[in-house]
Structure 1
Amino acid sequence: MTAAGPQIWFYHLERSGLEQVLPTLLDKVLQADLRAQVRVADADLAARLAEALWTWRDDSFLANGHTSGPHPERQPILFTSGTDNVNQAQALFIVDGAGFEPTEDFQRCFILFDGQDEDALTAARARWKALKGTGADISYWRQTLEGRWEKAG
């Protein structure tokens, strides 16, 4: 985390959906020995994403819980619609237009947005512009034709 706040990475989902991208990014965070929080505005989406993590690969799963479930403070990946960092996560994933603030407890924030959804694009652009104006440490990631992620800004 910088003195001004976390690194903030925008992920523009164009070729893969959230249910394909999120598990891969969360797996990388866990491999770095970090905890994650996934902030989601919609409870149904949170349930679908949580299930996708339990079944994302035939030979592996990503253990996760919800703030309303048992022992949220012990979860390596915690789904929430709130802003408290209950599981002391270092990485924050913001999906589904969920609220951004506060972020000072996190080293890195991932903002994932659907490139096919005009409202999501408009909101991401506004968030980018606002953060850029504060001098935040922001980066933009776009998926290549081959499906790899490339830093574009």
Structure 2
Amino acid sequence: MTIADLQQFAPPATSATVEPGGIGVAGLPANFVAAAEPHTVTGTLFGAPLSVRFTPTSYEYSYGDGTSALLTTPGRSWADLGQAQFTPTPTSHVYERRGVFFADVDIHYTAEIDLGGGWIPVTGEIITDGPPQRIRVLDARTALVAHTCTERGDAPGC
């Protein structure tokens, strides 16, 4: 039995969530979180009943801007980490420019089977291909008015 034989039992793909609310700010960290847990299913393979247990081992984040990271943590929300928004986390990413990006997370799983006598590891891994998530990255301006004096000479304070 090979890992390819177990593909039919693979966990469903997981979407990454991006804090805050699928929006990023150019030059500041956006926080990525993937919710994946061990997944056990039962079924029949080659006419024999079995249980298959998949355990997530790594998370391959593709950020949509040409960069990616292979991490061993699914990430946690800023609230769970006790951190303020836009602070770095082990799974955060900084977009250098504004725009719309499509990011995803592919999750790597190891597998074990149980044919009735205990768990047996299977060599290899299964990778689930996560669906793309739309992320809108904005520019932030630190000003008390909507426009600079260069942009609009009649703005308050000009």
TM-score by length of 1: 0.25
Higher helix proportion (structure 1 or 2): 1
| Larger strand proportion of the pair | 2
Identify the structure with bigger relative contact order (alpha carbons < 8 Å, sequence gap 6+): 1
Of structures 1 and 2, the larger Rg is shown by 2
